[in-house]
Amino acid sequence: MAAAASVSKHWLSVTTPLSPSSSRAPPKTLAFSFPSHQNPSRRRPKIQFVSSPIHRRCGISCPKVAKTINGENENQVEENKAGNNVDPNDLPPMKTLIQAYKKAILDGDEKSAYEVEAAICILENEKNDLSLKLSEMLAEITAGKEKLLRLKADFENFRRRSENDRLTFTSDVQGDVVENLLPIVDSFERAKQQIKPETEMEKKIDTSYQGIYKQFVEVMRNLRVAVVGTIGKPFDPSIHEAIGREESQEFREGIVIQELRRGFVLGERLLRPATVKVSTGPGPVKAPSDTEKSVEQPTETEQLADDPASTINTS
């Protein structure tokens, strides 16, 4: 508005004097040729100056224009607002309007200059509205992207939690099942140590019996069940259960010297601690008794003791 008023004052101060011999030409008016509503092409209107009575074709004046050129009051602006609305798409480009405004100023046609100012204000307001809408849309896009990232992060956390819960549930169920089967393992181990087949029939029965045990052990191995290491290993209260301490010439103090009942683990879960005896260190030298010889571990147990996470094995 300030720019419009400034240019108008400039026109008032630099009006070209007319020679006495020349007659004053009729004022030129800026005429807008709007396309018909029935024309689907919606071509931009043309601007031309005609020497005819002034008719203001621009029905909307800029709401920001508080002053008018050459003393026009605000009532005239309000009258213009009451006219038909002009679609900004029907107006010529801003560059064309500026050129027309310069020509109107140079020709001294203040009414045409005012009409061009109104058209420029319409385009300027339309530009501001579009800029505001664009800013709002960009803000919505940014907020939508942030929301999408949060949703992706929440979904990934949910997926990890669900997978961990599934693995934990599966491990717990397997642990409960295997823990209930451990007494069967103990029964097989005791039978293997106590039964001494003598006849051919007894040997066949024992072979069949041990074959069933091997199948059972294979199933336990597939479930990732492992034996707790004992003999020759340092005593660990988290996986060992000591029921006695004895002197030992072979093992130093704090080393497991005997396994009375096997312990088992499923992955990282302890199913049952191993029941053991622990060495108190060297004592007086004495010959081993028959009882100590009878409770010695079988060869496969000694091999398993070398690896605390080894799987169940049988002879």
Give me the phi and psi of 246, to 5 degrees please: -135, 155
Q: Note whether residue 9 is domain-resident.
A: yes
Confidence of residue 88 (pLDDT cuts 50, 70, 90): low
Q: Note whether residue 150 is domain-resident.
A: no
Same domain, 65 and 10: yes
DSSP string over the chain? -HHHHHHHHHHHHSPPPPPTTSPPPPPPEEEEEPPPTT-TT-PPPEEEEESS----------TT--S-GGG--HHHHHHHHTS----GGGSPPHHHHHHHHHHHHHHT-HHHHHHHHHHHHHHHHHHHHHHHHHHHHHHHHHHHHHHHHHHHHHHHHHHHHHHHHHHHHHHHHHHHHHHHHHHHHHHHHHHHHH----SHHHHHHHHHHHHHHHHHHHHHHHTTEEEPP-TTSBP-TTTEEEEEEE--SSS-TTBEEEEEE--EEETTEEEEPEEEEEE----S--PPPHHHHHTPPPHHHHHHTT-TTPBP---
Same domain, 126 and 193: no
Same domain, 297 and 228: yes
Same domain, 178 and 315: yes
Question: Environment class of residue 20 by beta-carbon count within 10 Å: exposed (0-12), middle (13-18) or buried (19+)?
Answer: exposed
pLDDT over 80 (residue 303): no
Same domain, 122 and 195: no
Interatomic CA distance for residues 157 and 154, integer angstroms: 5
The reported pLDDT for the residue numbered 35 is 44
Question: Is pTM, for the whole model, over 0.85?
Answer: no
The reported pLDDT for the residue numbered 184 is 86
Q: Note whether residue 138 is domain-resident.
A: no
Question: Environment class of residue 145 by beta-carbon count within 10 Å: exposed (0-12), middle (13-18) or buried (19+)?
Answer: exposed
Same domain, 189 and 124: no
C-beta separation of 65 from 73 below 8 A:
no
Same domain, 179 and 314: yes
The amino acid at residue 301 is T
Q: Note whether residue 144 is domain-resident.
A: no
C-beta separation of 215 from 184 below 8 A:
no
The amino acid at residue 16 is T
Compute CA distances 126 → 12, 43, 84, 133, 236, whole Å: 30, 18, 17, 11, 82
On average, the pLDDT of the chain sits at 69
Same domain, 127 and 179: no
The reported pLDDT for the residue numbered 126 is 84
Q: By C-alpha distance, which of 202, 213, 279 is closest to 247?
A: 279
List the domain range (segments joined by +) for residue 127.
2-14+23-132
pLDDT over 60 (residue 190): yes
Same domain, 121 and 187: no
Interatomic CA distance for residues 290 and 80, integer angstroms: 124
Same domain, 294 and 191: yes
Query: How confident is the model over 156-166, as a mean pLDDT?
Result: 93
Query: How confident is the model over 96-116, as a mean pLDDT?
Result: 79
Q: Note whether residue 120 is domain-resident.
A: yes
Q: Note whether residue 222 is domain-resident.
A: yes
Same domain, 189 and 248: yes
Task: Flag the least confident range among 83-97, 113-127, 206-220.
Answer: 83-97
Bigger pLDDT: 211 vs 4: 211
Domain boundary, last residue among 104, 132, 160: 132
The reported pLDDT for the residue numbered 101 is 78
pLDDT over 70 (residue 237): yes
Q: Note whether residue 165 is domain-resident.
A: no
CA angle 3, 123, 117 (to 5 degrees): 40
The reported pLDDT for the residue numbered 154 is 94
Task: Flag the least confident range among 56-70, 94-108, 144-158, 284-298.
Answer: 56-70
Bigger pLDDT: 161 vs 38: 161
Which of 41-45, 227-231, 298-302 has the highest mean predicted lDDT (pLDDT)?
A: 227-231
Q: For the domain that residue 191 is a member of, what is the CATH number?
A: 2.30.22.10
Which of 72-81, 119-128, 270-279, 281-290 has the highest mean predicted lDDT (pLDDT)?
A: 270-279
Confidence of residue 27 (pLDDT cuts 50, 70, 90): very low
Which of 15-24, 91-100, 146-155, 303-312 has the highest mean predicted lDDT (pLDDT)?
A: 146-155
The reported pLDDT for the residue numbered 157 is 94
Domain boundary, last residue among 132, 159, 190: 132
Same domain, 111 and 29: yes
Q: Note whether residue 160 is domain-resident.
A: no
pLDDT over 60 (residue 213): yes
Query: How confident is the model over 57-79, as a mean pLDDT?
Result: 41
First to last CA, the chain: 103
The count of structural domains within the chain is 2
Among residues of the chain, what percentage have pLDDT more than 70? 61
Domain boundary, last residue among 80, 114, 132: 132
